[in-house]
Chain A
Amino acid sequence: MPEGNRVDDTADLKSLPLNALHEAAGAKFGPFAGWSMPLSYPLGVLKEHLHVREQAGLFDISHMQLIDVAGADAAAMLSKACPLEAASQPTGLSKYTFALNDRAGVIDDLIVTRLGENRFMVVANASRAAVDIARLVDFAEGLDCRVEPLERVFLALQGPAAEAVMTDAGFDVADMKFMSGTEPKPGWFMSRSGYTGEDGFEIAMPVDAATAVAQKLAADKRVEWIGLAARDSLRLEAGLCLYGQDLDENTDPASAGLQWAIPKALRQGGGYAGAARLAEIIAEGPAQRRVGLKAEGRQPVRAGAPLTTPDGAPAGRVTSGGFGPSADHPVAMGYVPAALALPGTELIAEVRGKPVAMHVAKLPFVQKRSSKGN
């Protein structure tokens, strides 16, 4: 019954470069997107989650893929690959964006930071890294544009104390705005961003420099190591999408409620992949919408639960769900027909064959201390 006893096929999993550090910290590991990842630490998921909201949590997110895009045509390439105005994106600014297929379905959600006139850093999801790299290489063909996947240790420090912890660790972050990014040293990358709804930073560095940095940050009294399980409950409370659950190649940014990430001028079309179909969906209005869902009781409703109206008509499904430790109630999100997307709309989820009353709720479930982003 306990998770730890499940036999997983761990033979083909990649280990994080700092795996030994996580083992020493007492992590429990599990598979995610081909990686053996720390799921939780001895503090436990619930307290890890609350600690991030109260102080600061350190996450190893080295499974995520950094891709260096450089060359005179880099901006032009990215403006074809993504619904981005890369040419006019100010240096130092990070943008949440997408790789779309020709049906405007989301191949991946990405953060693209401009590092210089001819350089951008793309951060991609682990599960889509190979697809993203191949796709960007295709778009760069024949252009003056190099696409280089980087091997880095990638850490996130999240929480209200993150700025003070980074400053005390010697990082010059006080002037960084949320959704901005920079290279503190050659081979390093640092952004003020995150996936928890809190203020925070993501910092990538060469593997040989990483142990010392991770140990320094983890040694701060305000900091605890946080596993993937709490990362999931934090992002869900913050209303942020998990690729593969809340976003996939059959969902588009408008249905997902992420139209804010599409520049206004590109909503009626443009030169990027998926532009024509996305413009149609925006003009027609999406048939389905992603919404927050709150259960009436204490029982969590998890991903995959089918939804109906109180009359029994099919009404979509839950795509992420669990318990929100800060919200102190079950939290979920899912896709429902657009007519049922208004907050307060009553729906019924089916959990293990039994009905659970829910209603559409505004996202996020907790007040965000960061601005929009991934």
Chain B
Amino acid sequence: MSKTYYTEDHEWIRVEGETATVGITNYAQEQLGDLVFVELPEIGRSIAKGEETVVVESVKAASDVYAPVSGEITDVNEALAGDPALVNRAAEGDGWLIRLKLSEPGQLDELMDQAAYQAMVE
């Protein structure tokens, strides 16, 4: 049983137990355009909510992706090293960025559900 949350900075976070998978939304990838490079953090790093964690780069610009919640990075999407455009093709699926072990699950209550996020971007 998983539940997906969204942030105002256009990240999604899918939570299963204590583990969360994080990516950028389809809306975000459309705005960014074709990605040519994704800079991923080191596994094991502890990050605080709001910290710059991933950098996604298009032809024209580099954009920060912020940690939607605090936790420890347990995995990164290695497939993006050779295929950053996977984020464009499947932003909310195979194009995920990082996995986290949540350190403050209560932070999830501050995030949006899908309906609220859709309302925000429309």
A contact residues vs B (CB 8 Å cutoff) = 1-5, 39-40, 44-47, 49, 229-230, 232-233, 298-300, 302, 322-323, 325, 330, 352
Contact = CB atoms under 8 A, between A and B. Distances in A.
A47 B60 contact: no
Given A46-B36, A298-B37, A325 B31 contact: no
6 contacts: A2-B28, A2-B32, A5-B10, A46-B58, A298-B36, A323-B36
Nearest to B7: A1
Interface string B47-85: 000000001011111111110000000000000010010
B94 to A, nearest CB: 19
B17 interface: no
A300 B56 CA distance: 11
A1 B63 contact: yes
Contact-size category for B: 20 to 34
B39 A299 contact: yes
A230 B31 contact: no
Contact of A300 (B9, B24, B33, B36): B36
Contacts of B58: 45-46, 323
Given A1-B65, A3-B31, A46-B34, A232 B60 contact: yes
Nearest to A352: B55
B37 A45 contact: no
A47 B32 CA distance: 14
Contact of A229 (B27, B55, B60): B60
Contacts of A47: 34
A40 B32 CA distance: 11
Contacts of A232: 60
Contacts, number: 73
A45 B33 contact: yes
Interface string B14-33: 00000000001001101111
A2 B37 contact: no
Contacts of B24: 1
B28 A46 contact: no
A319 to B, nearest CB: 16
A2 B36 contact: no
A323 B64 CA distance: 17
A1 B9 contact: yes
A106 B10 CA distance: 42
B111 to A, nearest CB: 15
A302 B65 contact: no
A300 B59 CA distance: 9
A302 B30 CA distance: 22
A45 B34 CA distance: 7
A299 B38 CA distance: 8
B42 to A, nearest CB: 11
A230 B59 contact: yes
Nearest to B52: A352
Nearest to B24: A1
B32 A229 contact: no
Given A5-B31, A45-B34, A229 B59 contact: yes
B53 to A, nearest CB: 12
B87 to A, nearest CB: 12
A179 B46 CA distance: 57
A49 B31 contact: no
Given A2-B28, A3-B32, A46-B59, 17 more contacts: A1-B32, A1-B66, A2-B27, A3-B60, A4-B31, A40-B33, A44-B33, A45-B33, A45-B60, A47-B34, A229-B59, A233-B59, A300-B36, A322-B59, A323-B37, A325-B36, A352-B55
